[in-house]
């Protein structure tokens, strides 16, 4: 199961809507071994395509170096599908290379009308494990924003 904060969930959805009709992509990093997605990192889709995404190679290096320095790992790797359902494509499955990550897919196909105008349709938000070519969908639990907790911290 993926447990993710409301704010991070909303940030992923907002990124997908903003980049539509191109695919949006990014990572939510968290402390190694914690399974807690805490640090939202929007990435540039170097492919700039409605049907393909790829992190730029320099961005990828910088991202992993930064996570390494912070003892983090990619807890969530997200991207959007803009004309199809939020389910891993054969390309997604073939290229998935983080066996510990939750692969989040969002679909913005119902959010825009044919002219590209916003029609306020729902954004599909689903999560999967992709290990050795096998896809397992998992439940997503969205937790309320951490505001209260942050306020109580010194």
Partner 1 sequence: MAIEVRIPTILRTYTGGAKAVDADGSTLTALIDDLESNHPGIKDRLIENGDLRRFVNVYINDEDVRFIGGLEAGLTDGDQVVVLPAVAGGSHPTTLPASPASLLPPTTPRGPRKP
Spacing of C-alpha 86 from chain mean position = 11
Contact between 92 and partner 1 per CB under 8 A: yes
Q: For the CB of residue 23, give the shortest distance to partner 1 in the complex, in Å.
A: 5
Residue placing its CB nearer to partner 1 in the complex, 48 or 122: 48
Contact between 122 and partner 1 per CB under 8 A: no
Instruction: Determine which residue in the list 8, 12, 20, 55 makes contact with partner 1, applying CB under 8 A.
Output: 55
Q: For the CB of residue 143, give the shortest distance to partner 1 in the complex, in Å.
A: 25
Contact between 48 and partner 1 per CB under 8 A: yes
Instruction: Determine which residue in the list 69, 90, 116, 117 makes contact with partner 1, applying CB under 8 A.
Output: 90
Q: Partners of 131 in the beta sheet?
A: 134
Residue placing its CB nearer to partner 1 in the complex, 65 or 144: 65
Q: Is 84 helix (H, G, I), strand (E, B) or coil?
A: coil
Residue 55 near residue 74, CB atoms below 8 Å? no
Q: For the CB of residue 113, give the shortest distance to partner 1 in the complex, in Å.
A: 19
Nearest-angstrom CA–CA distance, 127 and 121:
20
Chain position carrying tokens 């492919």: 47
How many residues at the interface with partner 1, by CB under 8 A? Answer: 40
CA distances from 55 to 58, 88, 125, 135 (A): 8, 17, 21, 22
Contact between 76 and partner 1 per CB under 8 A: no
Fill in the DSSP letter of residue 108: -
First to last CA, the chain: 31
Where along the sequence are the contacts to partner 1 (CB under 8 A)?
A: 23, 25, 27, 43, 46-55, 57-58, 60-61, 64-65, 73-74, 77, 79, 81-84, 88-92, 94-100
């Amino acid at each position: 199961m993926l447990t993710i904060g409301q704010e991070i969930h909303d940030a992923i959805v907002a990124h997908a809507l903003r980049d539509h009709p191109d695919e949006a992509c990014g990572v939510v990093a968290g402390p190694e071994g914690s399974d807690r997605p805490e640090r939202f990192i929007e990435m540039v889709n170097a492919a700039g395509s409605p049907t393909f995404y790829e992190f730029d190679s320099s961005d990828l290096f910088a991202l992993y170096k930064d996570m390494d320095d912070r003892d983090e790992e990619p807890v969530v790797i997200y991207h959007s599908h803009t004309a199809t359902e939020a389910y891993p494509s054969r390309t997604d499955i073939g290229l998935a290379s983080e066996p510990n990550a939750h692969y989040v897919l969002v679909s913005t196909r119902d959010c825009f009308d044919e002219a590209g105008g916003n029609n306020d349709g729902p954004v599909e938000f689903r999560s999967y494990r992709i290990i050795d070519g096998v896809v397992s969908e998992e439940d997503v639990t969205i937790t309320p924003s951490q505001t209260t907790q942050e306020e109580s911290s010194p």
